Amino acid sequence: DGGITQSPKYLFRKEGQNVTLSCEQNLNHDAMYWYRQDPGQGLRLIYYSQIVNDFQKGDIAEGYSVSREKKESFPLTVTSAQKNPTAFYLCASSIHAYEQYFGPGTRLTVT
């Protein structure tokens, strides 16, 4: 899982609450990414950031928000607008268009 940490590993929330997932890296990578993983659907890109104070929507950005105030940190907020937020969330970083390094993931359960 390299130098990327995600916390917490498991997260439980009630429907209607916003929740923020943490992602921190000490690899000095410029780019960071958030993916959502559901059984049988592979990885789907939520947001990515190529540089501090800049980020772009991925394929499934609706109901999510991010910030990139520091190079090391890329938190993801799952808002109450996300219709089906229960999933496994993976954060990654990269130094260029080469391999991405992944964190251990956060499993979010919303009831």
Q: Under the rule (CB under 8 A), what is the footprint of another protein?
A: 1, 4, 6, 30-31, 33, 35, 40-43, 45, 48, 50-51, 58, 88, 90, 92, 94-105, 107
| Least CB distance to another protein at residue 34 (A) | 10
Cβ proximity to another protein: between 15 and 54 the closer is: 54
* Contacts of residue 85, Cβ cutoff 8 Å, sequence gap at least 6: 13, 19, 63, 78, 108, 110
Amino acid occupying residue 42: G
Given the complex with another protein, which of 82 and 94 has the nearer CB atom? Answer: 94
Closest distance of CB 21 from another protein, Å? 13
Of the pair 16, 40, the CB lying nearest another protein is at 40
Cα 79 to Cα 84: distance, rounded to the nearest angstrom: 10
How far lies 69's CA from each of 14, 24, 31, 42, in Å?
28, 12, 13, 29
**Nearest approach, Cβ of residue 111 and another protein (Å):** 19
d(CA 68, CA 70): 6
Q: How far is the CB of 16 from another protein (least distance, A)?
A: 26
